[in-house]
Structure 1
Amino acid sequence: MLVIALPDRRKLRFTRLRREIDGISRRMPTVTLRRPERDGLVERTVHAVVPPRVEYELTPLGGTLHTTIRALATWTEEHRSEIARARAACDARGAADAQL
């Protein structure tokens, strides 16, 4: 979701995209962006320089999804602590059930 929410109507370099997504490995933006690129939502441009510069931007089709996905990303950010508490409670219940 974030890889579509972040670019908006601007090009993002690979390194900036990776920095803006917390906890993502160096390889994950490339892997994550392959499907939306294939679906025509994201365009990847590789510039022939040393080191190679890779930029991502939304296509017009991807732009039609941006508002919806950005709303979901915003909701997730606003409720991050509640989600973390729910996950911790669920994990604790699962651990207690496993001991039975």
Structure 2
Amino acid sequence: MADFKYQGRIYYTPIELTMTFIGGTWKMPIILSLRKGALRYGELKKAIPHITDKMLFSQLRALEETGMIDRKIYKEKPPRVVYKLTPLGKRSLKVIDSLHRFGKHLIKQKSITVPK
């Protein structure tokens, strides 16, 4: 496959581009948390153990910039912000589920200890 550019960066495979959209430690857990519907920032924070405020904020922005999630601001006092998956974000769930199954398979095959 020929190299291609996205936002000024050269990619060598479609997988590399996919990982730009959903890769890293926190993007997939955020997407999975939004699977059942829209959530506010605080609800996302509670749903994803160990994520810092700085990281959640930056990853939400990155997911919004790539079109994976939408952010809606309600003009109330105090303002309410809700995040939800876009059609592109919903489409990524099949890929993430597949990666999850493969990871569970690897854990079983390699006798990896998973902390509780």
TM interval, short-chain normalised: 0.5 to 0.7
What's the Cα RMSD here?
Answer: 2.7
| 1:55 pairs with 2:82 | yes
Q: 1:63-95: per-residue Cα shift (whole Å, max 9, x none)?
A: 11012224435766895xx3668xxxxxxxxxx
Q: Which residue of 35, 57, 61 corresponds with 1:30?
A: 57
Tell me if structure 2 keeps the 8 A contact 1:2–1:73: no
Q: Which amino acid in 1 is paired with 2:56?
A: P
> Which residue of the partner structure matches residue 2 of structure 1?
29
Q: For the residues of structure 2 that align with 1:30 and 1:76, how far apart are their CA atoms? A: 26
Higher relative contact order (CA 8 A, sep 6+): 1
Q: Report percent identity of matched pairs.
A: 30
- Tell me, which stretches of 5 or more residues in structure 1 are unaligned? 86-100
Deviation at 1:17, TM superposition (A): 0.4
> Which consecutive residues of structure 2, in runs of 5 or more, have no partner in the other structure?
1-27
Q: Which is greater in Rg? A: 1
In the TM superposition, structure 1's runs of 4+ consecutive aligned residues that sit over 2 Å from their partners are: 70-79, 82-85
Change (3 A) 1:84 1:52: same
User: For 1:13 and 1:69, how far apart are their aligned partners in 2?
Assistant: 22
Report the 3-state secondary structure (helix = DSSP H, G, I; strand = E; otherwise coil) of the residue aligned with 1:23: coil
Report the count of equivalent residues.
84
For 1:51, what is the secondary structure of its paired residue?
coil
